Structure 1
C-alpha cells in the first residue's frame, strides 16, 4: 500500500542513465532558480521606504539614489558569481570559494549560513504568500499555519517528483509575475509621459530634508539590499543545468540580473513618482497597482501573481539546498545520506530535510516569520562577503590574464557586503544577534560530523599488503539464544551446525519449572546441540544473557576462537502483526551490536499467514 501511494505521489522510479533528462534548460532554470530573487521586488522597494518614512515623506526621493546603489551591488554580484560559475563548475558557490581560498572554517561558515538561509527562505516566503491569501480571504486567517504547512508540503512533493517536472509546473507563475510587473512599469511610465500621473504626488529630487543622516541612508540601503536575496542560488546549482552547464548557468544568471534590475528600478521609480507611502494595511505593490489601474482586473492580476511568486520563492531553496548539502556531505561535513539520489534522481533527503525544517519554523513562529527577515538577510550577506573575499585571494594567488579588473570587481563587492553586515549588526542587533550563535553552532556540528567520519575511516582502513589467504584461521564458538522449540529455532540449529562443530544453545528461564520443562523437551528433541539454561529471577533477558555471553567470550578468547551469536527471528506477513509480538529479539540484537568481538547472524523465518 505504501509503495503504491509513493508511486502515485512521486511517480515511477527513474534509471540512473536517465539523469540527463532531468537537467534544466535555461528557460526553466531561470524560473525555478530565480523565484527568490525576483520575488524580492515585491518587498525590496518597500523596505527602503519604511526606513525613509521615519524622517518624512519628503525623504522619499532618496529612494532613487539608494536604488542606484543597490543596482551597483547587483551588477558586482552578478559579475562575481559569473566568475565563480566558471571557476567552480561543480557547484557549491560561496562554500567552495571560501573553503578553497580562505580555509575550511570560512567555507563552513559560508555553507552553514546558506543552509540556514534556504530554510528561512522557504519559511518566510511561504508565510508571506499565506498572508497574501488570508488577506484576500479573511475567513481563512485562523488557518494561517495549516495553509502554510500545506503549501510547503505541496512544494516538497513537487520537487520530489523531479527537477524538470517541478520546473514545468512552477515556471508559469514566475513568468506571469514578471509579465504583470512589466505591464505595471510600462503603463505607469506611459501615464507619466502622457501627463495622466500627477507631479504633485512626489517631492523633487534634491529637495533638502531636515533630519536626514548618512547613517539613516546606509540603513535604508542595507534594507533595500534584501532585494538581492537568492542571487547566489544559480552558482550552487550548476550541475542541474544542461551541458555546457557553466555557460548555461552564467547566461541564466545574467538574464536574472537584467530582469531583477529592470523590475526593481521600475517599481522604485514609480513608487517615488506616484508618492506611494508604506502602510501597515496595504503593501506598496498594492497601492501602486491601484494608482495605475484602479481596482480592476489588472490590479487583481498583479496581486494574484505577487502572492504566487512569494510562495514559489521557496522553490529556489528547494533547488539549491540539496546541492549545497551534497557538496558538504561529499566533503564529510554532513551525513552521507545527502549524497544519495532518490527515485526521481533528485537529492530527495535534502529536499525532505528542507521541507521538514521549514515546517518546524512555521509552527514555532505560528506562521509569523517577519522577525526572521533580518536574520534571513544576514544569512545571505555572510556568504556574499566571504565569496567576494575568497575570489580576491584567488586572483592575488593565481594572477590570470586580466585579473586586475576581476580583482577590482570583487574588492568593491566585498567592501559593500561587509558594510551592509556592519549596518545590520549596528541597527538591527536585537533581530540578528541569533546569527552569532547559530553560525558557530552549525560549524561545530559540521566538525563533529567530519571528526566521526575520519575516525571511522581510520578504524576501517586495512593493510592491503597482508593478504587474507595468509591469515590464520580460527575456530568458531556459536551461541544460539532460544525461547522454545520452534521451526525458526530448528532452522537456526541446522545453520549453526553447518558452520561450526562447537555450537551451544542458551535458554533464559523465569522459573525453575520452565527451565526443567525446557531441559526435558530439549533432551527428547535430540538436536545434538548442548543446551545451557540460565535462571532470571527478575524476568529480564538482556542482563542474564549478557553475563552469559561475556563469560563465553572470555572462554573463546582464551582458546583463540571467534564467537558468533545466531539469532532466530520470525518475520510476520503483515506490518501490523509485528505489534502483536514482543520485540525481545530486536532488543537482544541491539545489545549485541555494542558487544566487542562478537559476530551476529540473523536467521529469518517468514511466516506465510
Structure 2
C-alpha cells in the first residue's frame, strides 16, 4: 500500500541507462536553474528601496542609480562564470574550482558559503512568495509561517520526482512571470511617456529617520546585489544540460542575465518615477501591478505568477544543493548517503535535507524576508569570490591562449565580488529590528553567516578524518592471514513462551548446538510457570532465568551476555531475537519495542551479532498447527 502511494507521489523508477534522457534543454534549464535569479526582481528592488527610505525622498531617488550599479556587477559576474563553464565543462561550481586551484580550506569555505546560500535561497524565495500572496489576500497574514513551510514541502516533493519532470512543472510559471513582468514594465513605461502613470500615495507616509550616508547607500547596494543569487547554479550544473553542454550552459546564463537586467532596471524606473513606497501589507510588485492594470484579472495574473515564480525559485537551490552535497560526499567531506541517487535519478537525500533546513529557517525567522536577506548576500558573494579568485589561478597555471585576458576578467570578478561580500558583512552585521529573541538586544544579521561558515568547515574536515580512519580499519591486509575456526555461542532471549519464541529457538538450533535460552524474570512468582512450560517446549535447550527485582529487562540481559562471552571465551555471541510482526504498521506500535532497544545497544558492543526471527501474523494464521495451544 505504501509502495503504491509512493509511486503516485514520486513516480515510477527510472533506469540508469535512461539518465541522458533526464538532461535539460535550454528552455527548461532556464526555468530550473534561473528561476532564483529571475524571481529576485520580486523582492530585491523592494528591499533596496526599504533601506533607502530610511533617508526619506533623497534616499529613494538613488534606487535607479543603485540598480544600474547592481546590473553592472551582474555583467561582470556572468562574464566570469561563462569562462568557468568552458574551463570546467563537467561542472565548475565554487567548491570544485576553489578546491582544485586554491586548496582544501578555500574549497571548503566556498562549499560552506554555498550551503548557507542554497538554504537561504529556498527560505528567502518562499518568504517573499508568501509576502506577495498576503498582499493579494491579507486575510492570510496570520498563516505566513505555515504557508511557507507548506510551499517548501511541495517544491521538495516536485524535485523528488526528478530533474526533467521538475523542469516540466516549473517551465510554464517561469515564462508566465517573465511575460507578465515585461507586459507591466512595457505598459508602465508607455504610460510614463504619455504622462498617465500614477501611483497612489501611501496612507501613512513615513518620514526620514536617518541621514543619507555612504554607509546607507552601501547597505542598499549590498541588499540589491541579492539579485545575482542563483548565477552560480548554471556553472555547477553543466552536466544537466543536453549536448553540447558547455555551449548550452553559457547561452542559458547569458539569456538569464539579459532578462534579469531588463526586468530589474525596468522595475527600478517605475519605482523611481512613481515614487512607490511599500507598506507592511502590500509589496512593490503589487503596488505597481495595481497602478498599471487596476484591480482586474491581469493584476491577479501578475501576483499569481510572482507567487509561483518565488516558490519555484527555490528549485534553483533544489537543483544545485543536492549536486554540491554529492560532490562533498564523493570527496568524503559529507555523509556518503548524500551521494546516493534515488529511483528517479535525483539525489533524494540531499533534496530532503535541504527542504528540512529551509523549513526550520522559515520557522526560526517567522517567515521574514527582511531578516533573511542580509545573510543571503554575504554567503553568495563569498562563494563568488572564492570561485573567481580560483579561476585566476587556473588561467595562470594553464597558460593557454589569451590566458592573461581571461585571468584579468576573473580577477575583476573576484575583486568586485570580494568588495561586495565585505560591504554586505559590514553593513548588515546586526539589525536590532530583528532580535534573535524578544527583549534581547542582539539582532539577526551577517554575523550568523560568519559564525556558521567556520563551523561547517571544521565539520567537513572532521567528517573527512572519520572516513580516513574508517578506511584504515576496513582495509584488507596485503595477504589473507591464517584464521582459526570461530567459536560462537547462541542465546535466545525469551520474554514469554509463545510462537515467536519457539520459532526463534528452532532457528537458533539450526545455527549451533551450543544454544542457551534466557528469561529475565521481573515477576518472581511467574518463574515456576515459565519453567514448567519450558519442560514441554524447550526441546532440551537449557533455560537460564535471571531475576530482576528492579523490573529492568534489558540491563540484566546485557550483563549476562557480557559475562557469557568472557566465561565461554567465544569470538561471538549470536543473540537470536524473537519478534512478532502484525499486518498493519500501526499495530506494530501496540507491541513492546524491547527487541529494538536490545539490538541498538548490542550494535555498539564488539563481539555480538543480533539476528531477528520475525513471526508474521498472516503466516501464523495460514499455518495449520498455529491454532494448537501452547499449554
Compared CA separation, residues 136 and 527, structure 1 to 2 (3 A): same
Query: SS in structure 2 opposite 1:258?
Result: helix
Compared CA separation, residues 287 and 276, structure 1 to 2 (3 A): farther
Query: SS in structure 2 opposite 1:257?
Result: helix
Residues in 2 aligned to 1:4 and 1:10: alpha-carbon distance in whole angstroms: 10
Instruction: Map residues 402-417 of structure 1 onto 2, 5 A cutoff.
Output: 402-417=402-417
Unaligned runs of 5+ in 1: 199-210
What does residue 278 of structure 2 align with? 279
What does residue 451 of structure 2 align with? 437
Query: SS in structure 2 opposite 1:429?
Result: coil
Q: 2:554 aligns with which of 510, 519, 542?
A: 542
Residues in 2 aligned to 1:563 and 1:13: alpha-carbon distance in whole angstroms: 40
Compared CA separation, residues 526 and 575, structure 1 to 2 (3 A): closer
What does residue 566 of structure 1 align with? 576
Report the alpha carbon displacement of residue 28 of structure 1 after superposing the two structures with TM.
0.7
Instruction: Map residues 169-184 of structure 1 onto 2, 5 A cutoff.
Output: 169-184=169-184
What does residue 474 of structure 1 align with? 486
Instruction: Map residues 28-427 of structure 1 onto 2, 5 A cutoff.
Output: 28-55=28-55, 57=57, 62-91=62-91, 93-191=93-191, 216-272=216-272, 274-280=273-279, 282-289=282-289, 292-293=292-293, 298-427=298-427
How big is the alpha-carbon RMSD for the aligned residues of Structure 1 and Structure 2?
A: 2.8
- Whether the 8 Å CA contact 1:362–1:369 is kept in 2: the answer is no
Residues in 1 aligned to 2:61 and 2:456: alpha-carbon distance in whole angstroms: 42
Q: Does residue 585 of structure 1 match 2:620?
A: no
Compared CA separation, residues 55 and 476, structure 1 to 2 (3 A): closer
Report the alpha carbon displacement of residue 175 of structure 1 after superposing the two structures with TM.
0.8
Residues in 1 aligned to 2:213 and 2:368: alpha-carbon distance in whole angstroms: 32
Query: SS in structure 1 opposite 2:108?
Result: helix
Q: Does residue 459 of structure 1 match 2:469?
A: no
Q: Does residue 450 of structure 1 match 2:468?
A: no
Unaligned runs of 5+ in 2: 199-210, 431-444, 622-631
Report the alpha carbon displacement of residue 267 of structure 1 after superposing the two structures with TM.
2.8
Alpha-carbon displacement from aligned partner over 1:143-182 (angstroms, at most 9, x marks no partner): 2223222222222222222222222122112111211222
Report the alpha carbon displacement of residue 47 of structure 1 after superposing the two structures with TM.
4.2
Query: SS in structure 1 opposite 2:546?
Result: strand
Residues in 1 aligned to 2:196 and 2:498: alpha-carbon distance in whole angstroms: 92
- Whether the 8 Å CA contact 2:58–2:212 is kept in 1: the answer is no
What does residue 607 of structure 2 align with? 597
Residues in 1 aligned to 2:408 and 2:230: alpha-carbon distance in whole angstroms: 23
Alpha-carbon displacement from aligned partner over 1:16-38 (angstroms, at most 9, x marks no partner): 33322322111011012111101
What does residue 505 of structure 1 align with? 517
Report the alpha carbon displacement of residue 295 of structure 1 after superposing the two structures with TM.
5.3
Query: SS in structure 2 opposite 1:167?
Result: helix
Report the alpha carbon displacement of residue 218 of structure 1 after superposing the two structures with TM.
3.6
Decide which moves more: 359-368 or 524-533. 524-533
Residues in 1 aligned to 2:55 and 2:219: alpha-carbon distance in whole angstroms: 13
Query: SS in structure 1 opposite 2:133?
Result: helix
Compared CA separation, residues 121 and 488, structure 1 to 2 (3 A): same
What does residue 201 of structure 1 align with? none
Decide which moves more: 361-370 or 415-424. 361-370
Alpha-carbon displacement from aligned partner over 1:442-482 (angstroms, at most 9, x marks no partner): 22332333233222222211214116xx4221332222222
Alpha-carbon displacement from aligned partner over 1:99-140 (angstroms, at most 9, x marks no partner): 222222222222122222222222221121112211212222
Q: 1:531 aligns with which of 533, 543, 562?
A: 543
Query: SS in structure 1 opposite 2:250?
Result: helix
Residues in 1 aligned to 2:270 and 2:141: alpha-carbon distance in whole angstroms: 31
Decide which moves more: 479-488 or 343-352. 479-488
TM-score, with structure 2 as normaliser: 0.86
Decide which moves more: 406-415 or 458-467. 458-467
Query: SS in structure 2 opposite 1:462?
Result: coil
Compared CA separation, residues 607 and 513, structure 1 to 2 (3 A): same
Residues in 2 aligned to 1:403 and 1:253: alpha-carbon distance in whole angstroms: 22
Residues in 1 aligned to 2:259 and 2:336: alpha-carbon distance in whole angstroms: 37
Report the alpha carbon displacement of residue 279 of structure 1 after superposing the two structures with TM.
3.3
TM-score, with structure 1 as normaliser: 0.89
Decide which moves more: 283-292 or 313-322. 283-292
What does residue 205 of structure 1 align with? none
What does residue 563 of structure 2 align with? 551
What does residue 483 of structure 1 align with? 495
- Whether the 8 Å CA contact 2:132–2:283 is kept in 1: the answer is no
Query: SS in structure 2 opposite 1:580?
Result: coil
Report the alpha carbon displacement of residue 43 of structure 1 after superposing the two structures with TM.
3.1
Query: SS in structure 1 opposite 2:544?
Result: strand
- Whether the 8 Å CA contact 1:92–1:324 is kept in 2: the answer is no
Compared CA separation, residues 478 and 60, structure 1 to 2 (3 A): closer
Report the alpha carbon displacement of residue 286 of structure 1 after superposing the two structures with TM.
4.2
Report the alpha carbon displacement of residue 93 of structure 1 after superposing the two structures with TM.
0.6
